[in-house]
Structures are given as structure tokens and as C-alpha cells.
Structure 1
Amino acid sequence: MGDANGGAPAPRRAPVFVEILERLARQRGARVEVEPVYGYAGALIEASGRRHFFKGTHFDINRAGAAALARDKDYAARFLAAAGLAVPRGMLLHSPRRAAQLALKNPDVAARLPARQAAHAFAGEVGFPVFVKPNEGSEGEDVTRVGDAAALDLALDALFAVHERVLVQQAVTGADIRVVVLDGKVEGAFLRRPLAVTGDGVTPLSALIAAEIAGFASGGKGSRIVADDPRILGHLASAGLGPESVPASGLTVPLLANANLSTGGSARDITGELSPELADAALRACAALGLRFAGVDLLHEGEVERSAAGKTAVGRMAADKAPVVLEVNAAPGLSYFHRLGPEAAARVETIYAHLLDALLG
């Protein structure tokens, strides 16, 4: 369909991962066929005609049950804990709408569901701040850090309006690392940092935030956040700050609790620096959920150590500091990492090359 002036519509650029897949498939005597309207789903087609379907970054490599289990954060945490891995404590809540529906079908089950009062008791037990997030979701969408009971109620109200199940989760501190695993091997690791601004002793946070987000969005990264995002305001409030606060010169102020690149976070490739402890935790997490391909999000409070050879090892643990598995993504998106620079882009393309080899083999 042409535009209002009778011309042809502007060509739509394929997502980064599709461009990579198309190039790598040709090198292997295969091809990629993409649905033409959105360009987000399709199939990798071998020369024999055999097809391997994908939708976004969901590929035909993980079994459906394993992928569904990983997507459910509450269930996944239970399986990870059963495998001896450290996970944040959490409590699953059902929206009033969903609870009412369940009461019609199975009133006994509905009566046993934790209510809002239980969430407040849980937060009091583990201590504020806590995270409130959709039980299913990715890229940090709707994840909120709350610092008191009133903020918890506001966050629950906002999430229940759009999500059926909400997880209230203990806050765990530490460096945020995404480890990409394929068939029992670490393919890549990235140290992520949340969206943040640095003070100059003069400019209020409101102006620093607006400038930072404007620069992020202008870089073509597809930001999913705006300057007056309630998550930013809530995060600042939990730290005793507000939009008019003026941070000291050189002071870095995190704006979000999560370090997802889609919400303005930054990252660097640390594949060659990853400690054995973190690599082992990532591999065990994938095995616990039955996943061949996944992105494992770890938090750790270990030190960065330097070996005698001068190489660093990110995530060396003290004996009592096991890494915490925050969640496991059965369809890890790598496009943001691809934009970090030549080294990270090469890493991502190698990951996709190995993924295609696993699918075609």
C-alpha cells in the first residue's frame, strides 16, 4: 500500500537479530523466511526444507514446558532453589480479578491464595525495600522498587490493573551479570549497570534525568522509559531523593533498580573475566530448568580479583557469598548487547552462529 502521496511505503528495517540470522543462515546453506507485516516471526529453513520456527528471540531449541517454566518467575525460583541455587525470597499474589475468577471454579484454592495483607507481612519480614514485578515478563517491564508500605500498595494497584499475577520479591544487592548459556557452555557474559546520572553539585535531578534519557533515546536504542516514569520517582523516593534534589559533584545516582539495557542501562562484555563460580551457577540454573539456551541473570557481591597473569576474574566469591540467580530467560534478547561496540557485536554474532549450528545440527 502506498502513502498519501501515491508513493511506495518506506522500507521497514528488519530487527537486528533477523539481519544476523539471515546472513549466518546463507553461510550454512539455509535461509530465513520472515512474516512480512511485522518482520518479527519466521522460520529458519534448511536446504532439505526442514523448518525451525522462531518468534522474536524464542527459538525451536528449548522444549515448550521448560521455556514456560522459566517464564513463570515464581515457579522457576522454586525449581532453582530445589537444585541448591540461591534465589531471592518471594511471594506470589493474584489480582483481585483473577482471585474472583478462581473462586467461581475452585473456591477452596481461591481461599488459600495470599492476599495483600500477606504481602505486607512478607515485606515486613524480609525488610524494605522490596521489588514488585509481573510474575511473567522481561526487559524490566513494570518492575518497581518500593521503600515502604504505602508505596507497596500503590505498586500493587498499578500492576494488578494490567497483570493477573504479581511477585513481591526480596531485594538483593550486588553486581548484575547476564550470562548466556548454550548446551552446557557459557557463550557470553555481560556486566550490566542501571540507568544513572552523575551530579555536578548545581543541577537538580529532574534536569539531569531529562538530559540523560534524551541522549539515550536519540541513540536509537529504543528506550522504554521516560523522564517522569513512576519507577524512577519511586526509586529516588526510596533513597530519600526527589526530582529537585541536587546531587553532589561526581556522585552517581542510580535511577532504577534493574539494569536492563532496554530501560537505559549500560553494559560491558566480561566473558573472558567471568569467574568459575558465576559460570557454574549459570550452567546449573539452565540444567535445573531443562533449558539448552538461556540468559541467566545473576547478582553477586564478590570482589574483582586480578590473577598473577594480570587478568581479571569478575565475581570471585567469599566462602559465604554464593551468587543469587535473579531469573532465567529462555529467549534472551541480544540486540542491545550488539550495539555496545565491535567486540560485543562479534560476541553476539558468535552466539547466534552457535545457536544456528545447534538448531541445524
Structure 2
Amino acid sequence: MTPEPEPGTPTIALRLNIARELGWRVECLDPETGWLWLLERDGRRRVLHGAHASINDHAAAAIALDKDYTARVLAHFGVRVPVSARCLGPEVIFDSLGNDPYPDQRGLAPALALASSHGFPLIVKPNRGSRGRAVIVVEDEEGLARALSEAWKVGRLALAQVPVPGFDLRVDVLDRELLLAYVRRPLALVGDGRSTLIELHERADPRARSPSFAAKLRASAPWIETLRGAELSPDSVLADGRRLDFATTIYNLHHCCVGELVPELPQRWVELANEIAGYIGLRHAGVDLRLPLVDGGDPLDQPVEVATVLEVNASPAVGQIARLGARAEAEAAERRVVSTMLEELGPA
């Protein structure tokens, strides 16, 4: 008997397991990637594409996929968003006569204007994309040009943004109810005088025990640059009490960051996430917020007006936070998502 292909991501695996528990038959339609799955039960069918849930309507999900348009909608309603410039890649979006309808947004110039008014560093990212792919912190014009070139490989529109430092909070909601909330922090390793950086990393982040995940993370710029700056190697032993911080303004669980559940999120933050999802028209959303740090205090004690919305995800994935130790909570959240998605199919 041919073994079933591996799901493409931890979130896909979670959703398939829950579908099986609910009595659905699961079949992979793309064994090479594990991204396309057919679910069937009692004459009903649902095709799953990656970790995309089919709860939101197409128009709302399309807005959320567009980081620039999401920010424009939220700014219209008075929500704080990052200061940004959009930069069209070369030789795209010309009209039928070969004229350029958007010359002021073409190439490097909008990002240079942003740097002139706000200075460096800046963050460059594709307008569409996930998992932190081609998201780069740049310190000068040369780095800005390189980063935009990388972002244009992902999509024809890139964004340059003024960084928003602070406390990073993710809030996932479904139909105005909280699913899950967690904070993301840059990875930090503290030496004990005996363990190598690899060993310390495996203790700080259980995902690092997976060879594939560890290899990907240790090939990332934050890992390489932090070790280089500290004149260390992966086999170096940190002195007892010495702390190594992987400083970054890009908090992404696919890179040098870890996450921790917020067990009791104050209701006003849930209401803010619901409000933001509502502006976009989303029922199911993951809202990324950045809050100012508070000396000696809890950032969550602040009023919601201080928060900046970094992004809104129309199909938030929980696979990484599950692997970081919150499996029961992530499974409970996904059970609600999958149940909603499949129950709305109705009878055959």
C-alpha cells in the first residue's frame, strides 16, 4: 500500500487530522507538494489548497492578501499603520501603448524618498507574501536596491516601510470570537558555560530539534549576522550567564523568533482585532499588532489606540505556535476553523 504523502505544512497536517476525526475521507491530489487535498463525506466535497481556509469571501481575502490595500483601508478608519512607500518593479503594468501609467511609483525612487524623510533603517517586503519571504531590514541605499530586487522576484509590487519597534502581538479571531493570541519575541540564548549554541537553541526552541527546520533557520540572515557580529560559531560555548540576542524588527516564527501564548487576553484587544477584521470584511483573521514597550510594565495594559497594525492574515496558520508547545490550544482553535468550514457545506 502506497503511504500517504506528507502534508505541506504543520497547519495543513492539523486540519487534515481534524477532518478525519469529523469523519471525512482525505486524499492528496498533489503528492509532490502535499498542498492540495480532497475531503469527502456523505456525498459532500471540499478541496483544501494549502493552509487557506474557505470561510472568508473572496473579495475580503483578496484585500487581506494585498498589504498596501489593507493598510489603506485601515488608515481610512483611523487605525494606525506603518508609514510606507510602494515601489513597482521595472517593466510591469504598462498600458497597451507601452506608456507608464504610474511613473511616480516606479523603481527605487519612492523608497529613496521615504528614506530621505524618515532615514534608515527601512523594512522592504513584497506586497503579497507570507512566512517572511524576502522581508529584509536595510541600512543604506545599496541595501535598499538589493532588497527591492529580491522583493520584485516575489511580486511586481514591493513596499518600503518605516520600522515599528515594540511588543509583537498576534490575535486570531473567528466570527467575532477569540481563537488564539500569542506574542512573538526574537530568539535569545543564555549560556551555561557547557552547552554549544546548537544545544542552547534546541532547548530554547523545540522546533530546532528538527534537522530541516534547524537548517533553514541557521541559514537565515539574523542567525548568520548575529553569530558573525559576536564572533561565534554554532559550536561555540557561551559563558555562563552570557546572553546572545538575535535582534530583529521582523518577528516571524519561520525565522529567529519564538512565540508564547497569552492565556488571558484583555477583552479590549479581542474587540480591536474584531474591529480590524470587520473593516476588511473578514470572518476569520489573524491580526498582527505592534505595541510600544513599557518600562517595567505590561504592554497589554495600554489603551488599544497605541497599537500599530502591521498586517492582517485572511487564513492564519497555527502550525508553528503548536510546535512551540501550544499544541492543545492550536488544535482547539483549528477544530473550530475546520468545523465551521465543513459544516457550512450543508447536506449533499
TM-score range (shorter-chain normalised) is: 0.7 to 0.9
For residue 279 of structure 1, report the CA deviation from its aligned partner. 1.9
Q: What secondary structure sits across from 2:133 in the alignment?
A: coil
**2: CA distance, partners of 1:61 / 1:304:** 40
Residue among 55, 58, 68 paired with 1:61: 55
In the alignment, structure 1 residue 84 sits paired with structure 2 residue 78: yes
Aligned equivalents of 2:180 and 2:136: distance in 1? 28
1:21 pairs with one of 11, 15, 22: 15
Name the SS for the 1:352 alignment partner: helix
**Structure 1 residues not aligned, in runs of 5+:** 1-7, 307-312
2:27–2:37 CA contact under 8 A, matched in 1: yes
Deviation of residue 115 (structure 1)? Answer: 3.8
C-alpha spacing 1:258/1:25, structure 2 compared with 1 (3 Å): same
1:283 match: 274
Q: 1:113 and 2:122 equivalent?
A: no
- Asked whether the equivalents of residues 30 and 37 of structure 2 are also in contact (C-alpha less than 8 Å), the reply is no
Where in structure 2 are the equivalents of 1:137-176 lying within 5 Å?
137-176=129-168
Q: How does 1:211-222 map to 2 (within 5 A)?
A: 212=201, 217-219=208-210, 222=213
Q: CA deviation at 1:351?
A: 1.1
**What does the per-residue CA deviation read over 1:114-173, in whole Å, with 9 as the maximum and x for residues that have no partner?**
441331121221232110011111111111111223322232233334532111011001
CA drift at 1:355: 1.2
Partner of 1:309: none
Task: Report the 3-state secondary structure (helix = DSSP H, G, I; strand = E; otherwise coil) of the residue aligned with 1:190.
Answer: strand
In the aligned structure 2, how far is the partner of 1:68 from the partner of 1:210? 42
Task: Determine the C-alpha separation between the residues in 1 that align with 2:338 and 2:145.
Answer: 45
AA aligned opposite 1:28: L
Q: CA RMSD in A?
A: 3.5
**Shift of residue 200, structure 1, vs aligned partner:** 8.3
Aligned to 2:337: 355
What's the secondary structure of 1:102's corresponding residue?
Answer: coil
Aligned equivalent of 1:5 = none
CA displacement 1:257-287 (0-9 Å, x = unmatched): 32211113211111x3323342222111211
Gap regions ≥5 residues in structure 2: none
**2:213 match: secondary structure:** coil
Aligned counterparts of 1:187 and 1:215: Cα–Cα separation in 2: 23
TM-score by length of 2: 0.81
TM value normalised by structure 1: 0.79
1:327 to 297, 311, 316: 311
2-side partners of 1:215 and 1:21: how far apart?
21
Q: Secondary structure at the match of 1:109?
A: coil
Aligned partner of 1:317 in structure 2 is 302
User: What is the rounded CA distance, in whole Å, between the counterparts of 2:101 and 2:340 in structure 1?
Assistant: 42
State whether residues 171 and 178 of structure 2, in contact with CA within 8 Å, keep that contact through their aligned partners in structure 1.
Answer: yes
Following TM superposition, by how much is the alpha carbon of 1:60 offset from its aligned partner in structure 2, in angstroms?
1.4
SS at match of 1:122: helix
CA 1:228 to 1:45, structure 2 compared with 1: closer, same or farther past 3 Å?
closer
Match of 1:310 in 2: none
Q: Distance in 2 between matches of 1:169 and 1:50?
A: 45
Q: Structure 2 matches for 1:259-270, cutoff 5 A? A: 259-270=251-262
1: CA distance, partners of 2:90 / 2:249: 27
For each residue in 1:218-277, what CA deviation from the matched residue of structure 2 results, as whole angstroms up to 9, or x when unmatched? Answer: 43573574545446567x69xxx836389996344224432211113211111x332334
Task: Tell me how far apart the structure 2 counterparts of residues 18 and 88 of structure 1 sit (CA, whole Å).
Answer: 31
Give the distance between the partners of 2:286 and 2:256, measured in 1 at CA: 19
Identity %: 31
